[in-house]
Structure 1
């Protein structure tokens, strides 16, 4: 039994390493293509003009990624909690995918949930953690937006942006509140039932059970007040 588990872990690690190598190669190839397309001389001149400021900005970006990874780490129950170092590079990869392909903004979250599953986290816990993390991230963003608006008005005295920003914030609050309520009511089971009825195949009946399990896992994450508030 131990041998089987060990072999399974080795295969999983091999898949993770292969994925990292492939993504790294694809990123390097894409960077080279963009560099040639934009002009090596022009890009070099722009980098030279900016100097070490580019490296400083790039290095500083590690700070929010690290904080996001730690916040994601706290959400997990201790029994299934991955190492924060692992979550850091998962978060890094997920954010890179979301920023690289604007049309796949949610794709990065799906990828990091998948990476967490590959490294040994139960699928339900990995998916639920990302869902809760995204929800709390939107709430935090709304708070920071309103705080920034207050500071902007205080510093400049300009109030022309107050109206549009407040309208946007209200819309975002209503949307995220609806998303949260849907999670609490069991939206994944609801979606699973609809899909099962549309497909009309007994092979898809297990999808409803999977939806119920994910709904309960999400609720369990929210019940952990300490992790959510952290």
Structure 2
């Protein structure tokens, strides 16, 4: 057997070993996900009922339902997305379609990446300092929603920017060649093509907002709130916070 054939077989063997390791890790992650889902279903199926979903909490969050937490979470998601989605999309459009490559664009991208790595509790403290105290919103849905909007803003910006980059430049060139302006090209050609992928970033942002606890602890949440909010300046309760408060009781089932 020649030396060249030995090298080829060795490369193939190493490649198969590497693929095997990657496949095992991937299947392990999927299996872990199913274990977590099974644990949640088995432990929680006994307490899920229509009354649990539609009733008010009682006895200091130890009994009753989670209806105020559902409404509060929906309100926080709505306020945060009304802030983060348009701001993030417009910022990404500006950076990708209008700002030329250079040090300004690099600095903006670096700052966005740094913002994405800030812990959520830091956003909570910032929201408490700015929205709750400085601007006088108090512990309210408005303060909590704006804080959560800042938290997911980097996600919206990056996903939108990547969606815009995925649009082939031939579409831009054809539109400009037909006499359309830069804004008309961006609004009528580029944005509609990228919109499905932009929605993916919106969904990811909604999922993160729904599961955050640290920011709402400092800006909006009350430990026991057996009523529905009537305005954006009212306190609210979140589903994630409700489940954390009830975890010890729920786990005993």
TM-score for both structures, normalised by structure 1:
0.27
Structure in which a larger fraction of residues adopt helix: 1
TM-score for both structures, normalised by structure 2:
0.25
